[in-house]
Amino acid sequence: MDLSTKLIHGGISEDPLTGAVSVPIYQTSTYRQKKLGQPGDFEYSRSGNPTRNALEELIADLEGGVKGFAFGSGLAAIHAVLSLFQPGDHLILGDDVYGGTFRLLEKVFKPLGLSYTMVDSQDLTQLEAALTAHTKALYIETPSNPLLKIIDLEKSAAWAKKNKLLTIVDNTFATPYLQQPLALGADIVLHSGTKYLGGHSDLVAGLVTTNKTDLAEKIGFNQNSIGGVLGPQDSWLLQRGIKTLAVRMEAHQKNAEMIAEFLINHPAVANVYYPGLAAHPGHEIAVKQMRGFGGMIAFELVDEGRVAEFVEALKIITLAESLGGVESLIEVPAVMTHASIPKEKREAAGIKDGLIRLSVGIEAVEDLKNDLEQALLIK
């Protein structure tokens, strides 16, 4: 079955009780137990809720996992995954991971005894150099945030496996429609459901899945013990969003390809980072491991001093954090999403203060180009 069909019919796509084609919102915290000590399938909504369960089955189905888990945010999902590790454990981390992931590791897990090394994870020699006797996992994003670096998942996961490390992939930018890391050797895949999966900038959620039953058991234990679960209303909304993922992603990337071309040819724009461009260093790998190049673009202006003026002059494209919604959003990582990463670390990773990240929406591309054009020309 093609993924486009699975998005709509995968997991639990209808109500087994009534045949309703949309799984109902089970707005309940608890469930009647007919016999003492013998609860049914559902017992208490932190441990399980039918609406959340439908979403969890769906993400597992889409990514090829054995079980899925839904959380109140992407970071709550990442927290539950990083809680698999113990004091003394060491992780290898891609050097341009989401700023909040870095902050969670640096400010929450490091004081609890977890250590990590950030490397350019495109480079196997750097991975090799970061390896210690205590290294337990490789944690990567591809395409990465915000520079759209492409990491060869098959190669990285094989390297990790050889060194007895888990491979954890944040698949937020690609979504399972464009890329399925478990099939390429990863052990755990996670998402900020807030972005493309939700798709309408109207919810905050996180998803995790794995194809290993022992890991599923541990993540499930963490989900219930830490308790950062997604409520039934948002679970329903996220499942609804996922149904249209294929058409939205196709529209996002069609627009993004045209906007990337437009930016490259614009005299006020210096560098453009988009994996769909033949000149992008990760282009060949993207062709190999992705169905398309996605809807995210990063770029720099020739005149870095004009960044604020440019983003503030846009009328249709909205200056805001987040990405993956139907509306185009633009932001400056050094000031916004990646501000929690110290300047030296940011610059070492190639994230200049003037870098701009654009989440290309599904508006008419001419309107987006005109908006960019008028803002680039303002003096």
Ligand X SMILES: *Cc1c(COP(=O)(O)O)cnc(C)c1O
Q: List interacting residues with ligand X (CB under 6 A).
A: 73-75, 98, 100-101, 141, 145, 170, 172-173, 192, 194-195, 204, 206
Out of 26, 98, 139, 273, the active site residue is: 98
Of 15, 31, 46, 306, the catalytic one is 46
Residue nearest to ligand X (CB): 74
Q: Distance between CA 309 and CA 171 in Å, rounded?
A: 32
Report the amino acid identity of residue 128: E
Residues 286, 293: Cα–Cα separation, whole Å: 7
* Strands 356-359 vs 296-301: parallel, antiparallel or unpaired: antiparallel
Closest CB 340 distance from ligand X, rounded Å: 12
Nearer to ligand X, 172 or 235 (CB): 172
Catalytic residue flag (residue 98): yes
Closest approach of ligand X to the CB of residue 30, in Å: 27
Let me know if 195 is a catalytic residue: yes
371 an active-site residue? no
Active-site pick, 6, 67, 195, 346: 195
Where in 223-295 does DSSP place strands (E)?
269-273
| Residue placing its CB nearer to ligand X in the complex, 7 or 168 | 168
**CA–CA distance, 193 with 89 (Å, rounded to integer):** 28
Comparison of 188 and 365: residue with beta carbon closer to ligand X: 188
Q: Least distance (Å) from ligand X to the CB of residue 205?
A: 6
112: closest CA among 80, 74, 81, 83? Answer: 83
Residue among 248 and 266 whose Cβ is closer to ligand X? 248
- Which of 236, 376 has the CB closer to ligand X? 236
Active-site pick, 61, 89, 95, 170: 170
Q: What is the β-pairing status of strands 329-331 and 188-192?
A: unpaired
Least gap, CB of 70 to ligand X (angstroms): 12
Tokens 């110290």 belong to residue: 342
Residue 262 one-letter amino acid: F
Minimum distance of ligand X from residue 98's CB (angstroms): 4
Can you tell me the distance from the alpha carbon of 151 to that of 158, in angstroms, rounded to the nearest whole number?
13
Give the CA diameter of the chain: 74
Catalytic residue positions, numbered:
46, 98, 170, 195
